[in-house]
């Protein structure tokens, strides 16, 4: 008499296991976030020696590229996505099946000044990049992976003080 209820319980448990195993597959999406960071005073007097004519990257268009081979075997750069900064940030979500190298490029509005960096993405990656826009001379604007901004300074500082 327990056979029908045991059989129905076994069917329910089997269906539940199948459904939960389907939901645990890894996502093939990755995220690239770019943050605009202005470095230096907000305004410099026009007659100041520090005033520069560097491009304004706050209105830059950020573009993601991948390289791939065409039918002739030539390597070509293919645009994945492109967006302009909104409130100092841009976020891209895309798909990738395996480890891939992408180029992140920033083109300043009204200028031909382009900054770029390369990132390695794989399924589940969350890449964070900072665009440093310097308003002071002798500093070049840079597009850098976040997390590397202070690593050199910390390394230099830690090697400066050694216990003997």
Output the 3-class SS for 11-22: HHHHHHHHHHHH
Domains assigned to the chain: 25-159 (2.60.40.10)
pLDDT at 116 over 80: yes
Mean per-residue pLDDT for 84-91?
93
Question: Which tens digit of pLDDT belongs to each residue from 22-44?
Answer: 655 557 899 999 999 988 876 65
pLDDT band at 50 (very low <50, low <70, confident <90, very high): low
Best-predicted range by mean pLDDT (1-15, 87-101, 110-124, 150-164) = 87-101
Mean per-residue pLDDT for 100-111?
88
Taking the chain, what is the end-to-end CA distance rounded to the nearest angstrom?
80
Q: Are 137 and 52 in contact (CB under 8 A)?
A: yes
User: In whole numbers, what is the pLDDT of the chain averaged over residues?
Assistant: 78
Tell whether the torsion through CA atoms of 97, 99, 103 and 104 is positive or negative. positive
């Amino acid at each position: 008499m327990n056979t029908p209820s045991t059989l129905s319980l076994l069917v329910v448990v089997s269906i539940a296991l199948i459904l939960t195993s389907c939901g645990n597959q890894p996502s093939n999406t990755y995220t690239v976030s770019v943050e605009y960071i202005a470095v230096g005073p907000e305004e410099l007097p026009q007659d100041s020696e520090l005033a520069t004519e560097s491009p304004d990257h706050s209105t830059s268009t950020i573009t993601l590229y991948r390289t791939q081979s065409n039918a002739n075997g030539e390597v070509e750069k293919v645009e994945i996505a492109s967006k302009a900064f909104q409130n100092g940030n841009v976020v891209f979500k895309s798909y990738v099946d395996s480890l891939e190298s992408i180029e992140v490029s920033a083109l300043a509005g009204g200028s031909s000044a382009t900054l770029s960096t390369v990132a390695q993405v794989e399924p589940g990656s969350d890449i964070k990049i900072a665009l440093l826009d310097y308003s002071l001379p002798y500093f070049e604007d840079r597009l850098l992976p976040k997390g590397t901004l202070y690593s050199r300074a910390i390394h230099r500082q830690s090697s400066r003080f050694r216990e003997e």
